Amino acid sequence: MLYYIIIPAHNEADFIKMTLTSVVQQTLLPKKVVVVNDNSSDDTESIIDAFVQQHSFITKVNTNAQNEHIPGSKVVEAFYKGFEILDENFDIVVKLDADIILPTHYFETICNHFEKSPKIGIAGGLAYIEKNGEWIYESIADKNHVRGPFKAYRKTCFEQIGGLQKSLGWDTADVLLARFYGWNVFVDESLHVKHLKPTGNAYKEKVHRNHGMVFYKLGYGFWISLIAALKIALKKKSFKVFSAYMNGYFSAKNIKTEKMVNLEQAKFIRSYRRTQIAQKLKGFLGF
């Protein structure tokens, strides 16, 4: 199977060489790689240029839309700057972050999964972060969720879900919409991806409020949003986090923010989330 990779990069000079090295060392190489230099002010571009000179399948695109690097919409905008220059001769499109290290057999394994299981729409491994000299699982998401830093989409699935939404929460919306359309989201737990810059390190606490707005935009409703916010707050051991999420939810509801899903999709998402909550509760209670 042929796969293309798009890597948005903003001031990633400390990490992008390791990311690109892990890409060019893959046992199954990509047909094309587009690295989008998103208004970087460090040595990111020169590092990209070195790889472009050495590898004919790597291309650089520069974009200078905005100085501030905002999570969510900004990375998707950069992704599409790269996507625009690609042709349609691919089976899989991959969005990678510029701060990860992939195992050498990562894409050979991912492509084999897609080839063997036609219903897989999105696939990926698991993120691991370094702590006290050891690589441990980055437990900010369930293990049935393919994380945004290393997401592979079957072309037909990508097209059916409408691609990536230019909004914070895009990497939750895509897996929920994939499931809505009957696709499987597959996580290979044997594929350990080293995440060099743990999620959240670059962003301020105000992002919690914006994530609360995403709950509304995804059609969660009050009770599911409440439970989700409580779960996150307990993990972070912070009532302020819970308050910020719920303030964001109510703010979006009061101003009737445009949702990322339609009524039918929102109904499916609420049903799916309720099922997840029930299963976790049963597991916690030992049923």
Domain coverage including residue 215: 206-285
Instruction: Give CA–CA dist 7/20, Å, rounded.
Output: 9
- Do 160 and 210 have their domain in common? no
Domain boundary among 162, 195, 228: 195
For tokens 């101003």, the residue is: 255
- Do 221 and 185 have their domain in common? no
pLDDT attached to residue 139: 82
Q: What is the pLDDT of residues 76-89, one digit of tens each?
A: 999 999 999 999 99
Strand partners, 101: 194
pLDDT attached to residue 68: 54
- Do 239 and 102 have their domain in common? no
User: Strand 58-63 to strand 100-101: parallel, antiparallel, or no bridges (unpaired)?
Assistant: unpaired
Assigned token pair, 128 = 């691991």
- Do 177 and 62 have their domain in common? yes
Q: Which residues contact 239 (CB under 8 A, 6 or more apart)?
A: 233
Helical residues (DSSP H) of the chain, grouped into ranges: 16-24, 44-54, 73-83, 106-116, 155-160, 170-180, 206-217, 222-236, 239-254, 263-285
Q: What is the pLDDT of residues 2-28, one digit of tens each?
A: 999 999 999 999 999 999 999 999 999
- Do 186 and 225 have their domain in common? no
Q: Is residue 65 part of a domain?
A: yes
Q: Is residue 246 part of a domain?
A: yes
- Do 22 and 82 have their domain in common? yes
The overall average pLDDT reported for the chain is 92
- Do 230 and 140 have their domain in common? no
Q: What is the pLDDT of residues 270-285, one digit of tens each?
A: 999 999 888 877 766 6
Q: Is residue 116 part of a domain?
A: yes
111-115's contacts with Cβ under 8 Å and 24+ in sequence apart are: 111/1, 111/3, 111/28, 113/186, 113/188, 114/1, 114/152, 114/154, 115/1
Q: Is residue 279 part of a domain?
A: yes
> Can you tell me the mean pLDDT for 113-139?
95
- Do 104 and 182 have their domain in common? yes
Residue 228: pLDDT band by 50, 70, 90 thresholds?
A: very high
Q: Pseudo-torsion of CA 15, 16, 22, 26, nearest 10°?
A: 160
Q: Is residue 200 part of a domain?
A: no
Cα distances from 108 to residues 30, 102, 191, in angstroms, run 10, 11, 11
Q: Is residue 201 part of a domain?
A: no
Q: Which has more confidence, 79 or 72? A: 79
> Can you tell me the mean pLDDT for 129-142?
90
- Do 97 and 135 have their domain in common? yes
CB atoms within 10 A of CB 37: 26
Where is average pLDDT lowest: 37-41, 83-87, 200-204, 267-271? Answer: 200-204
- Do 156 and 223 have their domain in common? no
For tokens 């084999």, the residue is: 112
Q: Is residue 39 part of a domain?
A: yes
Domain boundary among 142, 166, 195: 195
Domain boundary among 168, 195, 222: 195
Q: Is residue 229 part of a domain?
A: yes
Question: Nearest CA to 156 among 114, 116, 188, 124?
Answer: 114
- Do 172 and 278 have their domain in common? no
- Do 119 and 84 have their domain in common? yes
Helical residues (DSSP H) of 12-146, grouped into ranges: 16-24, 44-54, 73-83, 106-116
The total number of structural domains in the chain stands at 2
Residue 86 belongs to domain with CATH number? 3.90.550.10
CB atoms within 10 A of CB 269: 23
